[in-house]
Structure 1
Amino acid sequence: MECTKCDQPAVMHAAYSGTHLCETHFRESVERRVRKRVREDDLLPASATPADPVTWVIGLSGGKDSTVLAQILAETFESDPRVELVALSIHEGIEEYRDESLEAARELVADLDVEHVTVEYEAEYGVRMDEVAAEDPLGMAPCAYCGVFRRDVLSKYADDLDADILLTGHNLDDEAETALMNVLEGDVSQMAKHFDASLGPFPERQAEPAFVPRAKPLRDVPEKEVALYAHLFDVPSHIAECPHAEESFRGEIQDLLLSLEDAHPGTRHSILAGYEELAKMAAERYRGEKTPELVSCSTCGAPTTGDRCRKCQLLDAVGTE
């Protein structure tokens, strides 16, 4: 099959758009969508100058999504003095799995000449996820512990690195799955938080500087296209599932979404577009009516809505505090 835009052989078929793309036009398509999100989410504001550049901290796990995002942004803005890139990696204490992914991250940043900061749970909290998963003092899935610790590290170090924006490599499938999960669970308050987390800075958030705003420039790109980009253009990446992953509900949603996409191409895009509108309305309501005032955690000083943050509560449970 030939490329829809030229006479070269196609390397992929996008059923949602009806196009077949060769290697060159496929690469242009992915990179164009990332650049569009950078513009639409105002990640490079007019106030950024060579003398006062914007700092983007990229959460770099070493998996395909974060490495592809880092490579595209580094190559796109390598000659732009208004942008400073910093890669932030986390070692949770998962032997072999994270060791291999961080090796891919180190290889990438060396190629791109990007500053790289690595934080270990063991040094930061005195815990290793292999041990937490084995002991499981609260009877929760390992992801429930790890997600809290990861968010805390990303927020803390993004702030320490003077980040203007924290970027993560969530793709279209990730975002559509989360949207569908929140709708099926009827979790309107979580929809409001999702808008905050996914759409980057906006005026209301700037008035609440407790957290570095986050953005997801890959969220228009399907997972398979991210994987194909990494393969075709030799982006160093580690493709493997965490050995402690136990997200059965998300797995069911993933299977459902893929079957819907096969039968009705474009379903993921439609879900995310509608969800972002719903999330925006939910965020406006909850910020105006129900958002508790943030205070400092009595143990670590992190922003929280109660006396102690969730991270410190979990550290108590695993016996580190």
Structure 2
Amino acid sequence: MECTKCGRDAVMHAAYSGSHLCEEHLRESVERRVRRRVREDDLVPRSATPEDPETWVIGLSGGKDSVVLTHILDETFAEDPRIEMIALTIHEGIEGYRDESVSACEELATELEMQHELVSYEEEFGVRMDDVVEDDPENMAACAYCGVFRRDLLSKYAEELGADKLLTGHNLDDEAQTALMNVLEGDVSQIAKHFDASLGAFDERSEQEEFVPRAKPLRDVPEKEVALYAHLADLPAHITECPHSSEAYRGEIQELLLKLEENHPGTRHSIMAGYEELAGIVADEYQGSDEEADLNECEECGATTTREKCRKCALLDSLAAV
């Protein structure tokens, strides 16, 4: 099959657009979408100057998504004096799996000459995910614990590192899965938060000093294209599924979306277009309403929460009681 743009041998077919792309034009396509998202979400404010640069903390896990995002951002902004980038890696304490991905992070950061910070659950919380899985006092999937702990550390260290924004490597498939899950579960609060987290509007949470605004520049790119980009660019990505991954419901949604995309190309893009419009409407309704949650300080760690004790501390207390 020939590349739609140049006639060279194609390496992939994007059914949602009808295009066949060679290696060069696939890489250009992925990079263009990331840079367009950066522009459309206004991630580089006009106020950023060499004297007062914008600081971005990039969540670098060592997987294909975060590695590709870090690589493209470095290629785009490494020589831009208005932007300072710091890679932040979280070690969950999963023997074998995370050690290899941390090595990938260190290799990439060294290659890019990017500041790299590594923090761990064990140092911060005194727990390792391998042990949490064995104890599991809340009878939850491992991903539920891990997600809470990871988000806490990303937010904490983004703030400590002076981040203006926290960038993560969520791709189109990730976002479409989350959107569909929130709709099917009727989770209105999460729909409202989506407007805040990934549209560049940053809404009410970002206007409060307690939160570092988040952005997802990779969210327009399908997962398979990210993986192919990582392979073609020979990036040090650790592409292996977590041994504790057990999000059965997300797995079902993933299979459903892949089947829908196969039969109806463009489904993921359509879901996100409609979801973002819905999220904006819901966020507007939540602003100033009686349903808008009051923010407090966690009685144990001082983190901002809607409860007396944040979810992280509640989980750590339950683990300590085992």
In 2, the alpha carbon distance for the partners of 1:235 and 1:269 equals 26
Following the alignment from structure 1 to structure 2, what is the Cα–Cα distance between the partners of residues 52 and 317? Answer: 44
Aligned to 2:133: 133
Q: Work out whether residues 172 and 223 of structure 2, in 8 Å CA contact, stay in contact via their aligned partners in 1.
A: yes
Which residue matches 1:94? Answer: 94
- The yes-or-no answer on 1:312 pairing with 2:313 is yes
- Partner deviation per Cα, 1:19-70 (whole Å, 9 max, x = no partner): 0111111111000000000001110011100011101100000000000000
- Gaps of at least 5 residues in structure 1 are none
- In the alignment, what sits opposite 2:247? 247
Paired with 1:137 and 1:204, the residues of 2 have a C-alpha distance of: 35
Cα distance in 1 for residues equivalent to 2:80 and 2:124: 34
Distance 1:224 1:62 in 2: 17
Distance 2:155 2:174 in 1: 20
Q: Partner letter of residue 141 of structure 1? A: A
Contact 2:196 2:203 in 1 (8 A): no
| Aligned equivalents of 2:268, 2:68: Cα separation in 1 | 20
Single out whichever of 293-302 and 29-38 deviates more from structure 2: 293-302
Paired position in structure 1 for 2:282? 282
The equivalent of 2:204 in structure 1 is 204
CA distance in 2, matches of 1:203, 1:148: 22
Distance 1:308 1:205, change over 3 A: closer
Cα distance between partner residues in 2 of 1:320 and 1:49: 50
Q: What secondary structure sits across from 2:39 in the alignment?
A: helix
C-alpha RMSD over aligned residues? 1.2
- Report the Cα distance in structure 2 between the residues aligned to 1:203 and 1:292, rounded to whole angstroms: 15
- 1:79: how far off? 1.0
Q: Identify the range of structure 1 (187-196 vs 35-44) with the bigger mean alpha-carbon deviation.
A: 187-196
Q: In 1, are the aligned partners of 2:195 and 2:203 still within 8 Å (CA)?
A: no
Amino acid at match of 1:197: A
The Cα shift of 1:296 comes to 1.0
Alignment check: 8 A CA contact 2:195 2:202 kept: no
Q: Give 2:300's aligned residue.
A: 299
Specify the SS of the correspondent of 1:318: helix
The TM-score, its normalising length taken from structure 1, stands at: 0.98
Tell me, in whole angstroms, the C-alpha distance in 2 between the residues paired with 1:241 and 1:233. 21
Bigger mean CA deviation after superposition, 290-299 or 116-125? 290-299
Contact kept, 8 Å, 1:127 with 1:320, in 2: the verdict is no
Query: Residue 84 of structure 1: SS of its match in structure 2?
Result: strand
Query: Matches of 1:200 and 1:124 in 2, distance apart?
Result: 30
Residue 116 of structure 2: SS of its match in structure 1?
strand
Equivalent pairs: percent with the same residue? 70
- Verify: 1:64 aligned to 2:64, yes or no: yes
Following the alignment from structure 2 to structure 1, what is the Cα–Cα distance between the partners of residues 268 and 119? 34
The runs of 5 or more residues in structure 2 that have no matched partner are none
Q: TM-score, normalised by structure 2?
A: 0.97
CA deviations on 1:267-305 (whole Å, 9 max, x unpaired) are 000001100111111112123212222111111010011
* Amino acid in structure 1 at the alignment position of 2:126: G
Question: Would you say 1:34 and 2:28 are equivalent positions?
Answer: no
Q: Distance in 2 between matches of 1:215 and 1:320?
A: 36
Moved more, 193-202 or 136-145: 193-202
**Aligned mates of 1:301, 1:192 — CA distance in 2:** 25
Q: What amino acid maps onto 2:212 in structure 1?
A: V
Deviates more, 1:238-247 or 1:190-199: 190-199
Deviation at 1:311, TM superposition (A): 0.6
The aligned runs of 1:1-321 (5 Å cut-off) are: 1-202=1-202, 204-289=204-289, 290-319=291-320
Change (3 A) 1:197 1:320: farther
Separation of aligned partners in 2, 1:320 and 1:112:
44
Larger displacement relative to structure 2 (200-209 or 152-161): 200-209
Counterpart CA distance in 2 for 1:151 and 1:179 is: 18
The runs of 4+ residues in structure 1 deviating greater than 3 Å are 200-206
Number of equivalenced pairs = 321
